Every structure is written in C-alpha cells, then in structure tokens.
Chain A
Amino acid sequence: MIYLYAILDEPVHLPPLPGLEDATVETREADGLTVAVSEHQAQPDLSNDAVLRHAQVVEALSQAGAAILPARLGVAFADEAALRDAVAARQAELSAALERVRGCAEIGLRVLSPEAREQAKGAVGGGEYMRARLRQATHRERLAEALHDALRTHARDSTQRAHAGGRLLLDAAYLVPHAGVDAFAREVRKLEQSHPELALVCTGPWPPYSFAPAAEAAP
C-alpha cells in the first residue's frame, strides 16, 4: 500500500524523513508531477500521532521550496500504478492548482463576535424580537463581508466556510504570497483595532491545505 502526503511540481531534496509508522518518505515522479509517499505492508493506523506525523512531513516538504498541494490525512493507494492513474486522471487540475499556490502560504482566520443573543435581549414582543434578530443577522453578514473583502485584497485566493454561525462570524482561509504576509498581518491588526468588540483568531502561515482540490471538484 502506498500512502500520499503531498503533490509537488518538482522533485525536492529531502533529508531522511520519517513518515507514518516511521516509514521512509520518498518522492516519485507521476505524470510530470512529483508525489511524496511512503510504502506500507498494511493500512497505517490513523491515530493522533499519524495526524502530527503527516503534518510534519507536509511542513518539511513545503519548506523545501517547490509548489505543494498537501494531501488530506488518509489518502492511500493499492500500489504505485493506482496512484499514477489517479494523478493522470486529474493532471490538468492539479497543475493549475500548483501554479496558483506557488510562492504562497495559507493564513487562517476565525472571527468571533460577542454573544448574539445579548443584542436582541432588550426587545419586547415576538414581532419586535424577530425584527431585531433579522437586523442583527443582516448586520453580521455585512460585517463578515467587509472583513473578508478587506483581507481578500492582500490574497491571491480565499475560501470561506459557510458554517459560520453563533459566535463564529467568519471562518476563512487566505492564500497569501510569502512577501505579502506582513502586510496581511498589519491589515488584521488594523481590523482588530477598528472592531474592538470582535476576536480575530489568526493562524499561520500554513501549507496551502485549503487550496488543494478535493474530490468533489472533479468533473
């Protein structure tokens, strides 16, 4: 069985790097791209240790300089031929994604607002309460959009998860060129200062996990 860590645009020189269950990580050519893999006799156990090991391998690969698409945890193939076939089937899409993430890091942002219920508390009567809730929802939407727009101008690409709700106003990831990370961080601090009621939880730089194509995007 062959386990996948990442897809790269070119071979990278790797120091000996332990993968899942201490298997050696190596890079191989697949349809003009490079895959970082390890070989296993049986299905590797996906424990908490595996999560960290997978992340460490992806991190080391991303430091090696090539454009990288990290794999999700748990992507494996019966043999190398099956992996080559899977890469070949989506070669164009993967190449385009590699081109987009080249020279960029991912920055994550979650924005939390004060407790939503608090703001509607003063309202009396069902109708007024509902109108207050509606105004509040519209206000939250506009606020999230304004924050997202301000940060998007510093990014090559961005994603926004739709599940934002409750205290979570915005859950987004930004693909930021390495040279622009400082400017992005300054923009975050600026937004923090102009919205002291919000908590902006900013993390990164990460390898571009959120900008790697998932299976659902396949034609």
Chain B
Amino acid sequence: MTPEEQPGLAHEVALLELVDRVLNKGVVLTGDITLSVAGVDLVYVGLRVLLASVSTLEQLQDGDGAPRQLESAGRR
C-alpha cells in the first residue's frame, strides 16, 4: 500500500489524506495514554508534497478537461 506499489498521483494524494486523518483527526479520550508518534514530521512534509503536486493535477485536468475523481487509499 505504499506509493511505490501503487504509483500515480491520485494514490499519493489519497495516502497523504489518509495519514493526515489518522494522525490529526479521530477520537481522543480523556485519561488515556497518548503514545508518541515518532514519524509525525513526515506528515507535514507529506502535506507540503501534496500542495506542490497540485500543479501536476491541474496539468492533468487541462490535458483532457475531464474532472478527476480521486479514489481513497486503503480501500479494497
């Protein structure tokens, strides 16, 4: 499920969106132990990559004028 295994910008974007959700969203209960996330820096690096990638997305869109629907990573 790494970008290497599923090449393509849509998958990369979906993977970054997934990582953003898992690390930054979701239930946190009071009184729990929050384990430290060693790779947290990677996410912010990743989101910058996402923003940088959008010019490529735009070129893709300009190419055939068709709207792109992104599939989520980690599904089936």
Measured CB to CB, the residues of A under 8 A from B are 1, 4, 6-7, 43-48, 51-52, 54-56, 58-59, 69-78, 82-83, 85-87, 89-90, 94, 108, 110, 112, 166-168, 185, 188-189, 192-193, 199, 201-206, 209-210, 212-215, 218
Give the interface centre of A85, A87, A89, A199 by most chain B CB atoms within 10 Å: A199
Given A51-B22, A202-B69, A206-B72 in contact, is the A46-B27 Cβ separation under 8 Å? no
Minimal beta-carbon separation of A149 from chain B (angstroms):
20
Given A59-B74, A72-B24 in contact, is the A192-B31 Cβ separation under 8 Å? no
Give the interface centre of A74, A82, A185, A214 by most chain B CB atoms within 10 Å: A74
B35 adjacent to chain A (CB < 8 Å): yes
Question: A212 to B24, alpha carbons, bound, how many Å?
Answer: 11
Measured CB to CB, the residues of B under 8 A from A are 1, 13-14, 17-19, 21-39, 42, 50-51, 54, 57-58, 61, 67, 69-70, 72, 74-75
Selected contact of A199 from candidates B25, B31, B57, CB within 8 Å:
B57
Question: A168 to B19, alpha carbons, bound, how many Å?
Answer: 19
Give the interface centre of A44, A85, A209 by most chain B CB atoms within 10 Å: A209
Which B residues lie within 8 Å of A87 (CB)? 29
